C-alpha cells in the first residue's frame, strides 16, 4: 500500500502525486490544491476599488485590470511599447542638440544616430566625392577630411572672390552654388590645408581658373581637430 503524505498547509493526507517535487523530493509545504487556491486568492481582486477602470498609459484605452496589481497598461504589448518609447526618448535627449552636418552645416535632428556625420545620403556622397577630388588634385595620400561645412561657416557664407553671399540651398552644378577654391592654386604648389581653402561661387571659381593673385591667406586654424 502506498504511504500517504500529509500537507503542512491544510493537514490532509494525500498520495505523492498530490504534491510538487523540490530537489527530487515531494515538497510537503503545501499540496497542489493549496497552491492553486493561494494563487487564485493572490491574483483575484478583493474589492471594487481594485478593479476600477483606468486608462492605458500607452494607447489610452479604458480597461479593467484582471488582477489586484496596480497595472497601468491594458496588455503586455502596450507595456513593451511604452518602455521602448521611453528608452528611445532618453537616448534622444542624451544626444547633443547642436551637431552640424559635416558637408552642408545644417543642424542634425536628435532622432539621428549619435555617430551620424551627415544629414542625408546626398551629403554623405558629396563629402566623400570632395575628399577624393582634393586628394587626386594634390596627389596627397592623406585624407583632407570633411572641410566644406567648416570653411563655409568660417567664411560666413560669403564668396572669397566677389565678396557676395553664397546661397545655402543651391546645389552643383548651379553657377552660384558653394564651391571650394585653392587660394594658392594647386599648379603653383597649393595644398589642401584649411588656410589655403576658401568658399566661393562655382562661377567665380571657374572664372579664376589657376591664376594666383595677391589674396591674403587666412591664419592656420589648429582648433579644427575633426578633419
Q: What is the pLDDT along the chain (227 residues), one digit of tens a residue?
A: 578 999 999 999 999 999 999 888 999 998 999 999 888 877 666 666 566 788 999 999 998 777 656 688 888 899 999 999 999 888 888 888 888 999 988 999 888 888 899 999 999 999 999 999 999 988 887 888 888 999 999 999 999 999 999 998 888 889 999 999 999 888 888 888 888 899 999 999 999 887 776 665 655 544 444 44
Residues 148 and 178 sit within 8 Å (Cβ to Cβ): yes
20, 29, 40, 160 from 8: Cα distances, Å: 13, 5, 19, 93
Residues 100 and 89 sit within 8 Å (Cβ to Cβ): no
Residues 146 and 227 sit within 8 Å (Cβ to Cβ): yes
Note the pLDDT of residue 191: 87
For residue 81, count CB atoms less than 10 angstroms from its CB and return exposed for 0-12, middle for 13-18, buried for 19 or more: middle
Note the pLDDT of residue 227: 42
Note the pLDDT of residue 49: 59
Predicted TM-score (pTM) of this structure: 0.56
Backbone angles phi, psi at 106, to 5 degrees: -75, 155
Of 147, 198, 199, 201, give the one whose Cα is nearest residue 172.
201
Note the pLDDT of residue 123: 92
For residue 147, count CB atoms less than 10 angstroms from its CB and return exposed for 0-12, middle for 13-18, buried for 19 or more: buried
Q: Give the Cβ contact number of residue 159 at 10 Å.
A: 22
Note the pLDDT of residue 224: 44
Q: In whole angstroms, what is the distance from residue 198 CA to residue 175 CA?
A: 17
What's the length of the chain? 227
Note the pLDDT of residue 190: 86
Q: In whole angstroms, what is the distance from residue 227 CA to residue 146 CA?
A: 6
Domain assignments of the chain as residue spans, ordered by start = 121-208
Q: In whole angstroms, what is the distance from residue 51 CA to residue 71 CA?
A: 10
Residues 31 and 5 sit within 8 Å (Cβ to Cβ): no
Q: Which residues pair with 199 in a beta bridge?
A: 180
Q: In whole angstroms, what is the distance from residue 47 CA to residue 45 CA?
A: 6
Amino acid at each position: 500500500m502506498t504511504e500517504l503524505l500529509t500537507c503542512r498547509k491544510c493537514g490532509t493526507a494525500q498520495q505523492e502525486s498530490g504534491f510538487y517535487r523540490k530537489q527530487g523530493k515531494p515538497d510537503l509545504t503545501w499540496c497542489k490544491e493549496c497552491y492553486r487556491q493561494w494563487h487564485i486568492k493572490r491574483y483575484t481582486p478583493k474589492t471594487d476599488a481594485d478593479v476600477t477602470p483606468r486608462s492605458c498609459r500607452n494607447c489610452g484605452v479604458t480597461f479593467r485590470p484582471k488582477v489586484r496589481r496596480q497595472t497601468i497598461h491594458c496588455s503586455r504589448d502596450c507595456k513593451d511599447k511604452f518602455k521602448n518609447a521611453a528608452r528611445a526618448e532618453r537616448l534622444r535627449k542624451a544626444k547633443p542638440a547642436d551637431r552640424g552636418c559635416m558637408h552642408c552645416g545644417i543642424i542634425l535632428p536628435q532622432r539621428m544616430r549619435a555617430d551620424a556625420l551627415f544629414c542625408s545620403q546626398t551629403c554623405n556622397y558629396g563629402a566623400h566625392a570632395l575628399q577624393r577630388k582634393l586628394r587626386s588634385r594634390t596627389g596627397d595620400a592623406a585624407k583632407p577630411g570633411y572641410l566644406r561645412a567648416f570653411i563655409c561657416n568660417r567664411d560666413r557664407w560669403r564668396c572669397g572672390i566677389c565678396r557676395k553671399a553664397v546661397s545655402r540651398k543651391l546645389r552643383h552644378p548651379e553657377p552660384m552654388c558653394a564651391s571650394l577654391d585653392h587660394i594658392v592654386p594647386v599648379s603653383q604648389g597649393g595644398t589642401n590645408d584649411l588656410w589655403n581653402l576658401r568658399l566661393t561661387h562655382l562661377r567665380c571659381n571657374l572664372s579664376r581658373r589657376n591664376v594666383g593673385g595677391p589674396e591674403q591667406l587666412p591664419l592656420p586654424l589648429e582648433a579644427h581637430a575633426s578633419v
